[in-house]
A and B are shown apart, each in its own frame.
Chain A
């Protein structure tokens, strides 16, 4: 029976139990002539929880555990030495057994009956192929019985699961129903369940972080077992080669330095564009602009923040890049008479400028919040002494807001470092190590995209390096974020 049908049955059992409980709750009041502790709706929810929660938890556990147990059992049943004799690893052999199992399941019943444990594998293979299941040629005779056994095991397990889960649901409903009486604190119990649900929901945030860290840690560890950490972190050449099968132990070079340099360089150019514009815009908005200007300019700048980064990337690729290239051609033409562009269409400058435009609203809205949260009294104090507005801003407000602004800039920098689509389209893929902003450089994010799109093989360093890059990126941005958030907290406490 399919999982969704099981779930449906459980839901139904719960609903029926809940309805019965509701009626019982109403009856109680009439019979006893006194008000029960909880209202009928809570009796219903109480029974519903008893029917649903344990059975669905069991279902989930079973669904996860059953295949794992099956796999362990099958692996243990591998005949000794046979795996090595066939030139296979345990993983590969298990994979073949699994696909034989799939093949068996896809056969119509009458043909499946012809295959038993003693059928030689050669006889079975054409049948499988006929039903669209191709199986590796390394399959062995002893695999067929294992596959049959595995199939039987999972069928039995599924039936057992169906029965047990439905029993659990019915039992839970029954137990809950039996408990209903005037003094039952159904509401309190239901609220406990609600509370636990809420806690589970909020721990998803934690689980996401744990997931991020662990998924990258495991794969990175695998990577570092193939390529030394020294070579990765301090290598100055990035040349991973292709991960095509048969390249035979050729690993290439995985030097992080050029990528890191590109990331920081482009980020720096972006900050150089975004910080002055964003900061001055924020100051103007907070200190000078009248309400009308504010109500027009602020949303317009926020639109800039709402535009997806892929659009910025396209803008860089087709508008800004060619513009810089043509501009440089004109300039060099005027200066030297030779109309050759010295700015490449994909360059640090292009990517940095466009990323800077993208970051303007981040800088301006974060700084705006911070500047406006500087207490009025400070402002009035300075103005009252006869300082001009700009003097007040420079001497009083900015120093007071400095920690907040620093943290805003850190958050912006973290954004710049993690930005992907603009650099993918505008920075180029060549891992150069240069200080010329007119040339192309590449970033960590570009390389992650490059290594993880296309055919993946989770055993080759060419793929795994992306996880090492990912965790590097994560750690860098994490440090920036946590430090920035820490400063913001301190800053807010100061003025609260």
Chain B
């Protein structure tokens, strides 16, 4: 049946073509080309996305592992003093020469001649400079350890770490790579002894800024970002919702509200760096708030996020059908009661979704934070929002400027963490939308 009609039509078009030429063939070719352009465009867009993600992940996944070396450490009293001395004088304990302990341990482990300075320094180059802190903290935590010998997992140096992860081409001439032949030999021996292990890199999540890749982490930056997100949430959500309620439900149509309207739409498109300038001039220069503080960052991001939240909230309020408002008003609810008891709860899922998306934007924002001094070297956790802090994207920016291979790996790792947070937030938003969205 269908075949018959199809034939019928094609027969007729055959006949028509005989009569006048409307260029069917050429036009269909153009149609196919046009469609192909569209498919290519979408393909390109998606390809770029995957190249981008792949480039980050392929460089960054190794950052989540960190090589450690098991070294027998003798906490000798000669180097760090006796437990009694240490208890009496903390500063002596703080100043002691812990790297020497690690060096001695390595010498013993690798059976090197202590007089062979070349071999000693080669061996010493295998462990991180962070051993000073690592061993010091062990001793400070438990003075009983002094005088004993213990197997300790020490962080490997970033060169060793990178070499093991295959970031260096080890086939090139010795002088052109950061790992010497002697060190390679040591590494082999350590591996045979089972003294070399790659463990999950908790440090990446807990450490602060550091000039050494192996002891650099985003822990401090995450706290800074968390403070800022809390501030943004605490300020932008109520202010944004209040402003939207006024504009959507109460505002008379006049020039003033029109001005606010245009203003908000425009603010949403102002370059983020301009907000940084605002923060610098107003919050830091005029109000005298401290530079590098999470509070200032939070305020700047609040102003930046506000338009996003307002626009989303107004859309959510507009989606509540007017019949609900009439019903409440008809029962004698006042306008305020109507809005707060009926319209707002019904708009809540939409508002929440908009807020989360706004927060995600704020979390990834870098430029304004650079201007208010968050590009600081912050190694300690900020205790209050007024302390010097840094943020996750800013930390990424600072690491991106480091030349070392190990830092590039960490940068990619930090980006993966950032993207992980963003994905989590956006998925939450999508979930909320799917779960609670009400169709009228």
Contacts and interface: CB of A to CB of B under 8 A. Distances in A.
Interface string B277-296: 11011100110000000000
Nearest to A215: B281
A467 B281 contact: yes
A191 B334 contact: yes
Interface in A465-496: 466-467, 470, 473-474, 477-478, 481-482, 484-485
Contacts of B37: 280, 284
Nearest to B261: A205
B273 A449 contact: yes
Nearest to A466: B277
Nearest to A467: B277
B278 to A, nearest CB: 5
A278 B52 contact: no
A364 B307 CA distance: 22
29 contacts: A195-B336, A199-B246, A201-B238, A203-B260, A204-B239, A205-B260, A205-B267, A215-B281, A277-B45, A284-B39, A300-B46, A300-B49, A301-B42, A304-B45, A304-B52, A306-B426, A307-B364, A307-B419, A309-B367, A312-B52, A389-B35, A391-B30, A411-B269, A415-B269, A419-B271, A470-B273, A474-B270, A484-B269, A485-B266
Interface string A276-294: 1111110111011100000
A345 to B, nearest CB: 13
Contacts of B259: 206
Interface residues of B, number: 87
Given A208-B267, A419-B271, A420-B272, 16 more contacts: A202-B247, A215-B282, A216-B278, A277-B45, A279-B41, A280-B40, A281-B41, A304-B52, A308-B365, A311-B415, A315-B52, A390-B30, A390-B34, A473-B274, A481-B269, A485-B262
Contacts of B298: none
A445 B271 contact: yes
Contacts of B27: 388, 391
A171 B306 CA distance: 36
Nearest to A283: B38
Interface string B384-427: 00000000010011001000000010011001001100100010
A193 B360 CA distance: 33
A418 B271 CA distance: 5
A211 B285 CA distance: 13
Contacts of B373: 453
A357 interface: yes
A394 B31 CA distance: 11
A452 interface: yes
A325 to B, nearest CB: 15
Interface string B184-203: 00000000000000000000
B48 interface: yes
A421 interface: yes
B242 interface: yes
Contacts of A300: 45-46, 49
Contact of B41 (A284, A420, A448): A284
A477 B307 contact: no
A9 B282 CA distance: 30
A303 interface: yes
Contact of B45 (A194, A281, A319, A470): A281
Contacts, number: 261
B263 interface: yes
A227 B37 CA distance: 51
Contacts of A319: 51, 55
Given A211-B282, A418-B272, A481-B269, A388 B396 contact: no
B38 A288 contact: yes
Contacts of B270: 212, 418, 474, 477-478, 481
Interface string B19-60: 000100001101101110111111011101101100110010
A181 interface: no
B348 interface: no
Interface string B327-340: 00000001110000
A355 B153 CA distance: 44
A491 B369 CA distance: 37
A318 interface: yes
B366 interface: yes
User: Which size bracket describes the interface of A in this complex?
Assistant: 35 or more
A203 B426 CA distance: 29
A481 B46 contact: no
Given A304-B49, A417-B271, A215 B367 contact: no
B265 interface: yes
Contact of A473 (B269, B271, B303): B271
A303 B49 contact: yes
Interface in A345-402: 357, 360-361, 364, 386, 388-391, 393-394
A338 interface: no
B245 interface: yes
Interface in A305-340: 306-315, 317-319
B277 A308 contact: no
Contacts of A199: 246
B107 interface: no
Contacts of A439: none
Interface in B135-165: none
Given A201-B246, A421-B366, A470-B274, A284 B38 contact: yes
A313 B243 CA distance: 35
Contacts of A308: 363-366, 393, 418, 422
A204 B306 contact: yes
Contact of B55 (A212, A218, A318, A452): A318
Contact of A393 (B34, B263, B366): B34
B347 interface: no
Contacts of A216: 274, 277-278, 281
Given A212-B278, A284-B41, A311 B266 contact: no
Contacts of B243: 198, 201-202, 204-205
Interface centre among A311, A317, A470 (most CB of B within 10 A): A311
B310 interface: yes
Contacts of A136: none
Contact of A209 (B30, B38, B266): B266
Which 8 pairs from chain A and chain B are nearest by CB? A418-B271, A284-B38, A308-B364, A215-B281, A201-B242, A280-B41, A390-B34, A202-B243
Contacts of B397: 310, 313, 421, 424-425
Interface in A407-443: 411, 414-415, 417-421, 424-425
A35 B356 CA distance: 44
B310 A477 contact: no
Interface in A258-298: 276-281, 283-285, 287-289, 297
B360 A306 contact: yes
A191 to B, nearest CB: 4
A459 B285 CA distance: 12
A16 B95 CA distance: 57
B120 interface: no
A77 B393 CA distance: 49
B61 interface: no
B45 to A, nearest CB: 5
Contact of B250 (A198, A218, A388, A418): A198
Nearest to A360: B45
B216 interface: no
Contacts of A394: 34
Nearest to A458: B285
A42 to B, nearest CB: 10
Contacts of B39: 284
B375 interface: yes
A396 B126 CA distance: 69
A211 B286 CA distance: 11
A208 B45 CA distance: 35
A394 to B, nearest CB: 8
A470 B167 CA distance: 41
B370 interface: yes
A449 B367 contact: yes
Contacts of A318: 55, 59, 400, 408
